[in-house]
Amino acid sequence: MLLHVRSIAVNIAVICFFTLSLVAWMRGLSPFVCCKRALIGAILAYVAGGWAVRAIDAVLTHAMIRSQISQQDSSASAMSHKSGYKDKRGAGRNQ
């Protein structure tokens, strides 16, 4: 894994918790309601953030693997092209 899923999801959840509690407080709700809504929102944000980070991580990992494979294929084809070129040149001189 390239990304640290838990730490990123926790950061998202903390930001969401304080944002939701501030919004609820500014609307004049009681502290218990603010806390309850912020906690539920933070839990949902933690789960959604974890899924999103895992999805991004899978996409990045897949892209890196495809890049490495294409680099290996291009270097292998370049080496076979060079070796084929040397064989043809050497065969012409021997005849």
pLDDT in tens, 37-60: 999 999 999 999 999 999 999 999
Please give the tally of structural domains in the chain: 1
Is 58 contained in some domain? yes
- The share of the chain scoring above pLDDT 70, in percent, equals 83
Is 60 contained in some domain? yes
Per-residue model confidence (pLDDT) at position 3: 77
12 SS3 class: helix
Per-residue model confidence (pLDDT) at position 92: 53
pLDDT higher than threshold 90 for residue 1: no
Is 63 contained in some domain? yes
**Residue 30 belongs to what domain range?**
5-87
Is 23 contained in some domain? yes
Per-residue model confidence (pLDDT) at position 48: 96
pLDDT digits (tens, 9 = 90+) for 18-37: 999 999 999 999 999 999 99
Question: How far lies 2's CA from each of 6, 53, 67, 69, 71, in Å?
Answer: 12, 10, 15, 18, 20
- H helices present in 1-95, as ranges: 5-26, 31-94
Is 21 contained in some domain? yes
Distance in angstroms (rounded) separating the CA atoms of residues 70 and 72: 5
Is 93 contained in some domain? no
Q: Cα torsion at 54, 59, 60, 65 (round to 10°)?
A: 120
Is 92 contained in some domain? no
Is 69 contained in some domain? yes
